[in-house]
Amino acid sequence: MNKTVQLQDLGLKDYKQSWDYQEVLFKRIVDQKIKNRREGTAVPTVNHFLFVEHPHVYTLGKSGDMNNLLVNEAQLQAKQATFYKINRGGDITYHGPGQIVGYPILDLDNFFTDIHKYLRFLEEMVILTLAEYGLKAERSKGETGVWLDVGTPFARKICAMGVRASRWVTMHGFALNVNTDLGYFDLMIPCGIKDKAVTSLNVELGRAKIDMKEVKEKLLKHFKALFEAEMELKSKVL
C-alpha cells in the first residue's frame, strides 16, 4: 500500500480547468488499477491532494435540483459567476475567492475501503482544524459537511463536501469558507437546505481576514494524522 500523497497548491484556478485536471489524475489511478488486475502486477498507485481557489462558480451534483439556483444566466454573468453540472454527489454549492477547496484524489485501497469512513475523516479534519481557532464544529445528522451550533435555530454550515468514488478512487472533496464573500450564497439554496445559514471562519472570529496558508497547514496536519499519510510537495503542472 502506498500512503504517500502528492500535494499541489494550484492557487486561483478556473473550475473547469481544475475539474479536467482531477479527471486526468483520477483516470491514471483507475487505469493503473485495471492494468494491475489484468496483468497480475502490483505497481503502486499514486495518491494526490489538490488545494485550489476558484473564481465565482456554482456547481450542481448528480442528485441536485436546478431550482436551488435562484438566478438565471444573465444574472450569473452580472455577478461574474459561472455554473456547472458535475459528477459528484450532493446538491448545489458555491466556490469562490477566500474559500479553501481541497480535492483528495486517493486510491482508498491504500488506506481503507469505506466511503463513509472517508467522508467522516474529511469532516474530522475540518472539525479539528476549526477547534484550533476555538470553534466547536460538528456534524449534522444526515447532512454531509461541517456545521456550527447544530440542533439550534442558529445552525450554520462552514464547510461543504461532495465526492465521487469509482473502483475506490476518490475525486472532488471539500470547500471550507475562510474569507469567503457570503453574499454569493444568497443566489442559491445551499446544498438544497432551506432553513440553515452559511458562515465563514473570518466572520466567526470577527476578523477581516484569516491567513489561508495557516489554515491549509492545519488541515494537512490533521489529514496526515487521520489517514496516516505522508505528504510529498509537487510543483504545479496546470
Is the pLDDT confidence value at 76 over 80?
A: yes
Residue 128 lies in a domain: yes
Q: Give the torsion sign (CA, 223, 225, 226, 230).
A: positive
* pLDDT tens string 128-169: 999 999 999 999 998 889 999 999 999 999 999 989 999 999
Is the pLDDT confidence value at 108 over 80?
A: yes
Question: Which range (27-36, 138-147, 173-182) has the least confidence?
Answer: 138-147
Residue 53 lies in a domain: yes
Supply the pLDDT for residue 87: 78
Amino acid at 159: C
Residue 238 lies in a domain: no
Question: Which range (40-49, 78-87, 135-144) has the least confidence?
Answer: 78-87
Instruction: List 52's β-bridge partners, or say none.
Output: 101
Alpha helices in 40-90 (DSSP H): 73-78
Q: How confident is the model at residue 71 (pLDDT cuts 50, 70, 90)?
A: confident
Q: How confident is the model at residue 65 (pLDDT cuts 50, 70, 90)?
A: confident
Q: Domain span at residue 57?
A: 4-233
Catalytic residues: 191
Q: Is 25 helix (H, G, I), strand (E, B) or coil?
A: helix
CATH number of the structural domain spanning residue 145: 3.30.930.10
Residue 92 lies in a domain: yes
Residue 20 lies in a domain: yes
Strands (E), the chain: 4-12, 47-53, 57-60, 82-85, 92-95, 99-105, 137-140, 143-148, 156-166, 169-177, 197-198, 230-233
Q: How confident is the model at residue 207 (pLDDT cuts 50, 70, 90)?
A: very high
Per the structure, the count of domains in the chain is 1
Is the pLDDT confidence value at 117 over 60?
A: yes
Is the pLDDT confidence value at 192 over 60?
A: no
Q: How confident is the model at residue 114 (pLDDT cuts 50, 70, 90)?
A: very high
State the virtual CA torsion across 213, 132, 185, 118 in degrees, nearest 10. Answer: 90
Is the pLDDT confidence value at 209 over 60?
A: yes
Is the pLDDT confidence value at 81 over 80?
A: yes
